[in-house]
Amino acid sequence: MPATITAFARSPDRGRGLARDMRVRWALEEVGQPYEVRLVSFSEMKEPAHRALHPFGQIPTYEEGDLALFESGAIVLHIAQRHAGLLPDDANARARAVAWMFAALNTVEPPILENRFAWMLERDQPWYAQRQQVLDDRVRVRLAELSGRLGDAQWLDGAFSAGDLLMVTVLRRLGAWPVLDEYPNLCAYVARAEERPAYKRAFDDQLAVFTTSAPDTLTGKGLEKNGDSSDV
């Protein structure tokens, strides 16, 4: 029986692949595993039934037989450990790929999300310009370091891995802010990942949820409607 994941019934990113179910969809496509999707509304996410699966009332979750998991990073790692295609066979290379997974989520993502949340929630505040300069610099420090490490390589450490998968989804959170253009090798890195057939299938499937199940939100304000940073 295929695994079941949860995703936003109406994604605040309007189907642009920024919601965290995208990571799990992409991972499952990379390893060739079918899956089912259960859509949940924002109010359902905060109800006891969903919180039994996810203590913090978010998406995605992952159910497979008796196993229920939350946290996109943990779900991607579980998939990568169970199926070939997202982690190298060599034990040391495997540990390094996992290090890149944590680096994506714990070192690169936080300053990016803080930056984008400030834009979403504080850009009309009198202090925005002054704070945003600091937040912009924090992102640029991380991007410069990442760019320096990647250099001319295709992927972060040898073959494409779950570390690249998470890092690309984190870089895509920069959204419409064109800061990535300052780092041509990072732009090419993201574009290279987006060309992968598994990425395209995952992207199209999550976009289809948005275009078919919630057409009226096409006229909404998208991300700006959702104040809770962590839910996107």
Binding site for its own copies (CB under 8 A): 51, 55-58, 66-75, 77-78, 92, 95-96, 98-99, 101-103, 105-107, 109-111, 113-114, 121-122, 125-127, 131, 134, 138, 142, 145-146, 148-149, 229-230
Taking the least distance from each CB to its own copies, the nearer of 5 and 103 is 103
Q: Is residue 177 classed exposed, middle or buried when 0-12, 13-18 and 19+ CB atoms within 10 A define those classes?
A: middle
Residues 6 or more apart whose Cβ sits within 8 Å of residue 125: none
CB of 146 to its own copies, least distance (A): 7
Q: How far apart are CA 189 and CA 191, in angstroms?
A: 5
CB of 222 to its own copies, least distance (A): 21
Q: Smallest distance, Å, CB 164 to its own copies?
A: 14
Report how far residue 107's alpha carbon sits from residue 224's, in angstroms, rounded to the nearest whole number. 25
CB of 135 to its own copies, least distance (A): 10
Q: Give the whole-angstrom CA distance, residue 62 versus residue 59.
A: 9
Contact criterion met (CB below 8 Å) for 112 and 139: yes
Angle of the 184-194 helix axis to the 128-150 helix axis, nearest 10: 80
Q: Is residue 4 a contact partner of residue 63, using CB atoms and an 8 Å limit?
A: yes
Q: Which is nearer to its own copies, 132 or 196 (CB)?
A: 132
Q: Which is nearer to its own copies, 29 or 71 (CB)?
A: 71
Smallest separation (angstroms) from its own copies to the CB of 210: 24
Q: How far is the CB of 180 from its own copies (least distance, A)?
A: 17
Sole residue written with tokens 């497979």: 64
Which lies closer to its own copies via its Cβ, residue 160 or residue 210? Answer: 160
Whichever of 209 and 223 has its CB closer to its own copies, that residue is 223
Nearest CB to its own copies, comparing residues 121 and 159: 121
CB within 8 Å of 191: residues ≥ 6 apart: none
User: Does a cis peptide bond (omega within 30 degrees of 0) precede residue 178?
Assistant: no
